[in-house]
Structure 1
Amino acid sequence: MSLDEIINFDKNYILPFYSRFNLGFYKGKGAYLYGYDGKKYLDLTSGIGVLSFGHSHPVIVKEIKKQASKLITTSNLFYSEERVNLAKKLISITFDGGVFFSNSGAEANEAAIKIARLFGKTISEKKYKILSLTGSFHGRTLATVTATGQKKYQKNLEPLPEGFDYVEYNNVEDLESKADENVCAIFLEGIQGEGGIRPLSNEFISKVKELKKKYNFLIIFDEVQTGIGRTGKYFSYMHFDIEPDVVTLAKAIGGGLPVGATILKRKYINICEAGMHASTLGGNQLASAVALKVLDLLSENTLEHINKIGNLIIGELEDLKRKYHFIKEVRGKGLMIGIDFDRNVNVMDVIKKLMDKRILTLRAGENVLRLLPPFVITQREVDIFIKALNEVIK
């Protein structure tokens, strides 16, 4: 089937919720994708942060084949060694607690919202308010899109679920004014991904901790995009002096398979009861076995490489910033990097011109070029990108 035929069938049979580039791929290997157009593309998107170890990583491919030939799923009515092993591993790199498995970031955050409401009800019938930040992104279900602090995603979906309020990003005074005894939880992202690669400030984190002591609410860290090594640590919250009560995960943990996880501190586990929440495919044997292999790949050496290459990219981009006045700021940690352009530069034009040079990048926020390269990226590939970007924007 030709690309034109695929596009025509897609437009005829797929609901038009996505705006796609006129491009498609039939194969991927490492940091590269191979298109129907016969061209090879350097992928700095990792499937929007999903394929952190690149396309068709041999360890992950081998595990998929091995587990699929043995057992794919049995539902959550029965026990599973693979599910238990994955939960134990996640607890070993976060904090003592328990895990709920699902299939996506939205589902992981939906579970966190339910947990927060259940926690609030143990204290007061009125303690159900959930805070999140402007510019945040937490999913597309009706509850998680309400938690998302961007009105463009909520358009025409009203009435939205009640009990959500938004704090201006990194604004300590606004946080103080919105927090009260009726707050059951606050959602945080160590670095806002869809919001434009914007990191939280230490001052804001300190105020969150102070207000938690005063009002007794859960701190939920959404690590869907930032987790599993993306920022140079296992999780973005580890860059701050804080330990969350809940951590939500998806994207990279599945190595390309749909996996979500919600990790809850042990002191709160007693609020969870059988039947309160569920996911048919959550924690299935195939997904759990593959996710465990992903975590095995995430070694200290890998984190060291992420930081080394990330610092290299940021350094090169800072050089370009000094050269071009229309680059306002370079932001990020590890291999989660954003280039904030002045309004007179259309970031989508930059993305399309890079695509013409066979390099795939992403947009974030209003006018930010977002880079989420796979962890297997090399200095040579960084050089290819920097050279192409310089040619595109000069």
Structure 2
Amino acid sequence: MEFDRAGVRALMEITQRPELVFVRGEGSWLQDHNGKRYLDTVQGWAVNALGHSPANVIKAITEQASKLINPSPAFYNEPSIELAKRIVEHSCFDRVFFANSGGEANEGAIKLARKWGQINKNNAFKIISFEHSFHGRTLATMSLSGKPGWDRMFAPQVDGFPKAKLNDLESVRALIDDQTVGIMLEPIQGEAGVIPATVEFMQGLRALADEHKLLLIVDEVQTGMGRTGTLFGYEHSGIRPDIMTLGKGIGGGVPLAALCAREEVSCFQPGDQGGTYNGNPLMTAAGVAVFDELMAPGFMESVNARAKQLSEGLLVISAKWGMNGERGEGLLRALMLDQDDGPEIVAAARDRAPEGMLLNSPRPNLLRFMPALNITADEVDLILAWLDEILVKVRG
């Protein structure tokens, strides 16, 4: 199959892409237009929780598509009720609003927190977020994010998001004033390089929020749905957040996200929140299939076994090459390089023959791994063996 350059020019250019077109995927593997296979450690940035084209999700979508795709969010539908019930039963939250992307869910969290502030805190509206955080690409979520330079890209930014330092409780305390309504963070900063919030910090934030009557909001778009070895990332610290957002893995590859809140925080009135496709049965049926697979006996135990295998293997590679170790939780991990050759390693892995490997380097001195949660032990061994081989090629 020939690469269609004319067709590519019809697409708006928003990122640099290699000249290959993926045409098929199964589990941990992708195949391009030339028939070359790739071992995928990125999985759409932690989106494909069960790998590419999982049979149970295909079955759920196919069956649902033949019955009902979208009756509009003005009416109830069965799959959205079933998925909401599952989330509520397995979390500390009481209410769920379904959205189409993590950015949209986070936008909803901002709105919900500000509405709560109008009712309960004399119109308080500020949400403290964190340096180097990533919360989405809408104007408000870019302003909420602490990614360097984002405050200037589409200026003026949305007001009300002062930035603290992750794992520095005093930096948070210093920003609290009478206009503060909440604190929002990722339990693990993914785009920043897989940097976990410590258990002590998460517990300190909960206590600080309680002290000042603030909402604690966790952005679990990347860390939720089994990614860190527990169903939700906040569980590692034993706290109860007030609001949580989900995305990426919740749909197993389809556009689905969720805004979850405790009953006392769920203060939206009719007309405050909505969306044409929100909670449609086609997407939420996929979500039910993903959720039930994650809850199947032995599944999370397998996630943690593969996480241990990957972590230990990355430490061996780090020691061999004089790198700076690895970090993360579950199957969201990072190998900390000793030099800024991450992009070269990514390119060499992709170009490897006869089979390639897809890697991610969100920072030039770091590789991030987000494989399918059902990746096999043999596939983890292959990742580690090929990575070592690629390092020989890149570094000599």
TM bin, normalised by shorter chain, reads over 0.9
Query: Equivalent of 2:172, from 159, 172, 175?
Result: 175
Alignment of 1:186-335 (within 5 A): 186-269=183-266, 271-299=267-295, 300-325=297-322, 327-335=323-331
Checking the alignment, whether the CA contact within 8 Å between 2:107 and 2:141 is kept in structure 1 is yes
Q: State the shift of 1:2 in Å.
A: 1.9
Task: Provide the C-alpha distance between the structure 2 equivalents of 1:158 and 1:81, rounded to a whole number of angstroms.
Answer: 42
Task: Provide the C-alpha distance between the structure 1 equivalents of 2:152 and 2:30, rounded to a whole number of angstroms.
Answer: 34
Sequence identity, in percent?
35
Counterpart residue type for residue 20 of structure 1: R
Residue 16 of structure 2 is matched in structure 1 by 19
Residue 90 of structure 1 is matched in structure 2 by 87
Task: Provide the C-alpha distance between the structure 2 equivalents of 1:324 and 1:331, rounded to a whole number of angstroms.
Answer: 16
Instruction: Give CA-to-partner distance per residue, 1:362-381, whole Å, 9 cap, x none.
Output: 12245220110012211211
Task: Provide the C-alpha distance between the structure 1 equivalents of 2:242 and 2:336, rounded to a whole number of angstroms.
Answer: 32
Is 1:345 paired with 2:334? no
Is 1:360 paired with 2:355? no
Task: Provide the C-alpha distance between the structure 2 equivalents of 1:210 and 1:253, rounded to a whole number of angstroms.
Answer: 29
Task: Provide the C-alpha distance between the structure 1 equivalents of 2:293 and 2:146, rounded to a whole number of angstroms.
Answer: 34
Task: Provide the C-alpha distance between the structure 1 equivalents of 2:216 and 2:376, rounded to a whole number of angstroms.
Answer: 36
Checking the alignment, whether the CA contact within 8 Å between 1:212 and 1:218 is kept in structure 2 is yes
Most deviating of 213-222 and 17-26:
17-26
Task: Provide the C-alpha distance between the structure 2 equivalents of 1:16 and 1:339, rounded to a whole number of angstroms.
Answer: 30
Instruction: Give CA-to-partner distance per residue, 1:67-107, whole Å, 9 cap, x none.
Output: 00111001111121221111111101112411111100000
Q: State the shift of 1:169 in Å.
A: 1.7
Counterpart residue type for residue 51 of structure 2: G
Q: Give the gaps of 5 or more residues in structure 2.
A: none
Task: Provide the C-alpha distance between the structure 2 equivalents of 1:225 and 1:124, rounded to a whole number of angstroms.
Answer: 30
Task: Provide the C-alpha distance between the structure 2 equivalents of 1:322 and 1:277, rounded to a whole number of angstroms.
Answer: 51
Is 1:136 paired with 2:133? yes
Counterpart residue type for residue 295 of structure 1: F
Q: Structure 2 vs 1, CA of residues 197 and 296 (structure 1 numbering), >3 Å: closer, same or farther? A: same
Checking the alignment, whether the CA contact within 8 Å between 2:342 and 2:363 is kept in structure 1 is no
Most deviating of 143-152 and 356-365:
356-365
Instruction: Give CA-to-partner distance per residue, 1:307-329, whole Å, 9 cap, x none.
Output: 0011001001111122222x213
Instruction: Give CA-to-partner distance per residue, 1:339-384, whole Å, 9 cap, x none.
Output: 1112x33100011111122011112245220110012211211121
**TM-score, normalised by the number of residues in structure 2:** 0.95
Is 1:386 paired with 2:384? yes
Q: State the shift of 1:126 in Å.
A: 4.8
Task: Provide the C-alpha distance between the structure 2 equivalents of 1:304 and 1:389, rounded to a whole number of angstroms.
Answer: 25
Task: Provide the C-alpha distance between the structure 2 equivalents of 1:102 and 1:389, rounded to a whole number of angstroms.
Answer: 37
Counterpart residue type for residue 330 of structure 1: E
Checking the alignment, whether the CA contact within 8 Å between 1:247 and 1:264 is kept in structure 2 is yes
Q: State the shift of 1:181 in Å.
A: 3.3
Task: Provide the C-alpha distance between the structure 2 equivalents of 1:111 and 1:96, rounded to a whole number of angstroms.
Answer: 16
Is 1:79 paired with 2:76? yes
Residue 45 of structure 2 is matched in structure 1 by 48
Q: State the shift of 1:128 in Å.
A: 0.8
Most deviating of 281-290 and 166-175:
166-175
Q: Give the gaps of 5 or more residues in structure 1.
A: none
Residue 207 of structure 2: SS of its match in structure 1? helix
Task: Provide the C-alpha distance between the structure 2 equivalents of 1:124 and 1:334, rounded to a whole number of angstroms.
Answer: 38
Task: Provide the C-alpha distance between the structure 1 equivalents of 2:139 and 2:340, rounded to a whole number of angstroms.
Answer: 34
Task: Provide the C-alpha distance between the structure 1 equivalents of 2:380 and 2:159, rounded to a whole number of angstroms.
Answer: 46
**TM-score, normalised by the number of residues in structure 1:** 0.95
Task: Provide the C-alpha distance between the structure 2 equivalents of 1:324 and 1:387, rounded to a whole number of angstroms.
Answer: 14
Task: Provide the C-alpha distance between the structure 1 equivalents of 2:231 and 2:347, rounded to a whole number of angstroms.
Answer: 32
Residue 149 of structure 2: SS of its match in structure 1? helix
Residue 324 of structure 2: SS of its match in structure 1? strand
Q: Structure 2 vs 1, CA of residues 70 and 126 (structure 1 numbering), >3 Å: closer, same or farther? A: closer
Task: Provide the C-alpha distance between the structure 2 equivalents of 1:212 and 1:182, rounded to a whole number of angstroms.
Answer: 14
Counterpart residue type for residue 80 of structure 2: R
Task: Provide the C-alpha distance between the structure 1 equivalents of 2:374 and 2:209, rounded to a whole number of angstroms.
Answer: 39
Residue 118 of structure 2 is matched in structure 1 by 121
CA-atom RMSD in angstroms: 1.4
Most deviating of 21-30 and 138-147:
21-30
Residue 164 of structure 1: SS of its match in structure 2? coil
